[in-house]
Amino acid sequence: MGYGIAIVGSGPSGLYMAEELLKHFPEASIDIIDALPTPYGLVRGGIAPDHQTTKAVVRAFERTFARRNVRFLGNVEVGRDLSYEELKAAYDLVVLSIGAARDRRLGIPGEDTPGVYGAAAFVGWYNGHPQHRDLSPLLDGEALAVVGNGNVALDVVRVVAKTPAELSDSDIAAHAQRALAAARFRDLYVIGRRRPLDASFTPLELAEFGQLERCGVVVHDARLTNDVVPETSEKELKVKLRNLEILRRFAASGVDGKPCRVHFVFQAAPVEVLGGERVRALVLERTRVEEGRAVRTGERFELPVDVVVAAIGYTTVPFPGVPFDDSRGVIANDEGYVEPGVYAAGWCKHGPRGVVGTNRTDAQQLTKRILTGLESTPPPGGKPGGVLIDRLLSRRAVRVVDFARWQRIDAAEVACAAPGKPREKFVTIQEMLEIE
């Protein structure tokens, strides 16, 4: 008899965990539970719709779901349909891989003005996440600012910057495709509070701005120098120098008569959003960098913008009963260990960092950690496993979406896509559940 294992969250961290655990426990029965009827977490709802090659990782995840001892329990929300206590009572091992779905707040006056959005909501909106499909961002202005210098910030600006033709082979949600096609932005700002060297975006993503059909790039006030802190690793240094090289190239080439501009503004910290009914401007304060930190200088300036998107990181949304580390915004854990029989994996363990593939290495490490903790885990077979969960879900009339049903939803999305688009996503749970 094998272990009964629940993995909560069917994104990359959960799915790599399933694969790693099966290497060590081939007889285990693994239930992968997700609140949505659709699997794959950020691969579906986070990765930019125009980055289709990154989404090809789902082919590998499909092979995990094809295993005889792996089930998908979609449309099952822990905290609503099942409790954390019930999971612990049912399974020998529970792995929480629930990601980090909540936007960090800027913490500045005016943050709640209409026209200010968090990146999780904005990205969720254009990616057709059911929770964010009704965001209806205000896109009728001329200027938009994205705060943050990570890859999420670049994703947001690039998607907004692209023309309908440039998005025609993406899987952007139809409502966002229409809204962005009607938008008339002329200035898109990417705001970093530190220097170009300190940015966490990566060269491949940065270089894409050099190929936009209607947008040129302006690099503002940037000290494009190589004064890297000595402890920077060789790998990091290579990335940073490559970023600098690309920014220098942008600075040298100008906007080339294009009607829209993407501005990179560095060493500017957001201090206030102005506007009553809706955003009128973002107030920024110049910074200098001391010991790696952005220190404000007192010199302020106003950027007249109509929309502000804060792409400054995410925190985990816990469910009741799960120990939580408020200061870090993650599930309280010690290298993944939460409490006997319970582990955390991925962004809910260590915060939002790394790319899809990083989760594979993380899963290998966490599996090792689980193996060392096995002495304190009772032998397999002592708990009822998925049988108890099935009974509870049936009693509560939860409409569980299994993997075969997801495949039918998937096929229906592909079937109704416009020519060139890989799929047209269903954006309500209702629509998804109508596919029998």
Q: Which stretch binds ligand NAP (CB under 6 A): 142-150, 226-234, 258-266, 391-399?
A: 142-150
Asked whether the beta carbons of 345 and 363 are under 8 A apart, the reply is yes
Query: Which of 200/377 has CB closer to ligand NAP?
Result: 200
Please give the backbone phi and psi of residue 213, each rounded to the nearest 5 degrees, phi first: -65, -50
What is the nearest approach in angstroms of ligand NAP to the Cβ of residue 57?
A: 12
What is the nearest approach in angstroms of ligand NAP to the Cβ of residue 356?
A: 8
β-strands 337-339, 342-344: how paired? antiparallel
User: Does residue 239 bind ligand NAP (CB under 6 A)?
Assistant: no
Q: Single out the residue of 81, 103, 155, 171 in contact with ligand NAP (rule: CB under 6 A).
A: 155
Q: Single out the residue of 38, 127, 149, 359 in contact with ligand NAP (rule: CB under 6 A).
A: 149
Q: Single out the residue of 74, 128, 352, 385 in contact with ligand NAP (rule: CB under 6 A).
A: 352
Please give the backbone phi and psi of residue 284, each rounded to the nearest 5 degrees, phi first: -120, 155
Burial of 278 (0-12, 13-18, 19+ CB in 10 A): middle
DSSP for 84-153, written as a single string: HHHHHHH-SEEEE-----EEPP---TTTTSTTEEEHHHHHHHHTT-TTTTT------SSEEEEE--SHHH
What is the nearest approach in angstroms of ligand NAP to the Cβ of residue 155?
A: 5
Q: Nearest to residue 102, comparing CAs of 77, 131, 139?
A: 131
Binding map of ligand NAP across residues 197-236, x = CB under 6 A, - = no contact: -x-x----x-------------------------------
Q: Which residue is nearest to ligand NAP (CB)?
A: 150
What is the nearest approach in angstroms of ligand NAP to the Cβ of residue 192?
A: 6
Query: Which of 292/419 has CB closer to ligand NAP?
Result: 292
Query: Which of 29/359 has CB closer to ligand NAP?
Result: 359
Q: Single out the residue of 5, 312, 330, 393 in contact with ligand NAP (rule: CB under 6 A).
A: 312
298 torsion bin: left (phi>0), alpha (psi -120 to 50), beta (else): left
Q: At what angle do helices 174-182 and 119-126 cross, to 10 degrees?
A: 100
DSSP for 350-373, written as a single string: H-S-S-TTHHHHHHHHHHHHHHHT
| Cα 346 off chain centre by | 12
Q: Which stretch binds ligand NAP (CB under 6 A): 64-72, 172-180, 193-201, 379-387?
A: 193-201
What is the nearest approach in angstroms of ligand NAP to the Cβ of residue 354?
A: 5
Binding map of ligand NAP across residues 92-131, x = CB under 6 A, - = no contact: --------------x-------------------------
Q: Strand, coil or helix: what is 330?
A: strand
Query: Which of 355/371 has CB closer to ligand NAP?
Result: 355
Residue with tokens 């930019």: 48
- The pair of structure tokens assigned to 311 is 């792409």
Burial of 99 (0-12, 13-18, 19+ CB in 10 A): buried
| Torsion 420-126-81-101 (CA) sign | positive
Query: Which of 135/146 has CB closer to ligand NAP?
Result: 146
User: Does residue 156 bind ligand NAP (CB under 6 A)?
Assistant: no
Binding map of ligand NAP across residues 291-310, x = CB under 6 A, - = no contact: ---x----------------
Q: Strand, coil or helix: what is 266?
A: coil
User: Does residue 153 bind ligand NAP (CB under 6 A)?
Assistant: yes
CA angle (81, 86, 88) in 5-degree steps: 130
- Total residues at the site for ligand NAP (CB under 6 A)? 25
Query: Which of 271/374 has CB closer to ligand NAP?
Result: 271
User: Does residue 158 bind ligand NAP (CB under 6 A)?
Assistant: no
Asked whether the beta carbons of 190 and 262 are under 8 A apart, the reply is yes
Q: Which stretch binds ligand NAP (CB under 6 A): 235-243, 311-319, 324-332, 405-413?
A: 311-319
β-strands 70-73, 93-96: how paired? unpaired
What is the nearest approach in angstroms of ligand NAP to the Cβ of residue 151?
A: 3
Q: Which residues of the shown chain bind ligand NAP in the complex (CB under 6 A)?
A: 106, 147-153, 155, 192-194, 198, 200, 205, 269-270, 294, 311-313, 352-355
